[in-house]
């Protein structure tokens, strides 16, 4: 199986750009929730705020986990490609 490291790199970079945009949208979403939260009062507001923080934290963690996975995939593709090239050179000699 032949892997194009260039193609994998392009795909990973594209996904990482989208991931960065998603994280920026999470920040925007948080600000919108804070505006809504201003309408609430007392314990309900604190509970709501805590729940929003938990959910957004989980989303942010999922984005980070995805980035780590993608970087690992990129490194694995590069290693696989390098091994394949080394094997081809050994066969040719």
How high does pLDDT run on average in the chain? 83
pLDDT score at 29:
87
The answer to whether the CB of 2 falls within 8 A of the CB of 80 is: no
- Residue 7 to residue 72: CA distance in whole angstroms: 15
pLDDT score at 93:
65
Six token digits for residue 59: 């989303």
Task: State how many domains the chain has.
Answer: 1
* Residues whose CB is less than 8 angstroms from the CB of residue 48 and which lie 6 or more positions away in sequence, other chains included: 37, 40
Percent of the chain with pLDDT over 70: 96
Res. 18: pLDDT tops 80: yes
pLDDT score at 2:
65
Q: Domain span at residue 87?
A: 5-92
The length of the chain in residues reads 93
The answer to whether the CB of 52 falls within 8 A of the CB of 37 is: yes
Q: What CATH number is attached to the domain comprising 81? A: 1.10.287
């Amino acid at each position: 199986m032949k892997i194009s490291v260039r193609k994998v790199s392009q795909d990973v970079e594209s996904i990482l750009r989208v991931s960065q945009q998603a994280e920026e949208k999470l920040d925007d979403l948080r600000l919108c929730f804070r505006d809504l939260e201003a309408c609430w009062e007392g314990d309900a507001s604190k509970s709501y705020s805590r729940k929003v923080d938990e959910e957004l934290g989980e989303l942010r963690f999922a984005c980070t986990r995805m980035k780590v996975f993608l970087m690992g995939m990129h490194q694995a593709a590069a290693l696989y490609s390098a091994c394949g090239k080394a094997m081809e050179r050994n066969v040719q000699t």
